[in-house]
Amino acid sequence: MARGERLIVCRSEALVDGGAGVRFEVESAGTRRPAFAVRYAGRVYAYRNRCAHVGVELDWQPGHFFDADGMVLICSTHGALYDPRTGACRGGPCRGGGLEPVAVEEVDGNVVLGTKD
């Protein structure tokens, strides 16, 4: 990737409000780690795909992170609930924890990693 280019996570239309997310990877300390992006209330949010309870990936099927109502993110292993806007624990065994945010933004119809700052 050339200097200044930003990694495209997906096309914006791939993320439907409260619907399926998109899995991708982020590099951290030289290691590629799983992450995901979802859309909620019109905005895109992304987090490392790592539950605050045990540290496993959340999705019960690849890309499925929301509960049946599309209102909270849910871990498929023991049912921890997370606020899609902040990643904060909203119930279940993640008490006091939260998801690690990944900075993303929408630019020209794409969801891209990082921010303009």
Report the distance separating Cα 28 and Cα 26, nearest Å: 6
Taking the complex as a whole, the smallest distance from the CB of residue 43 to ligand FES amounts, in Å, to 24
Q: 51: how many CB neighbours lie within 10 A of its CB?
A: 24
Q: Which lies closer to ligand FES via its Cβ, residue 58 or residue 111?
A: 58
CA distance 78 to 65: 13
Smallest separation (angstroms) from ligand FES to the CB of 68: 17
Tokens of 22: 């998109």
Nearer residue to ligand FES within complex by CB, 48 or 53 = 53
The CB-of-77 to ligand FES minimum distance in angstroms stands at 4
Closest separation between CB of residue 51 and ligand FES, Å?
Answer: 3
Question: Cα(first)–Cα(last) distance of the chain, in Å?
Answer: 19
Q: Name the residues that contact ligand FES, by CB under 6 A.
A: 51, 53-54, 56, 75, 77-80, 92-93
Q: Closest CB to ligand FES among 40 and 82?
A: 82
- 46/35 Cα distance (integer angstroms): 7
Instruction: Give the residue with the Cβ less far from ligand FES, 56 or 103.
Output: 56
- State how far Cα 71 lies from the chain centre: 14
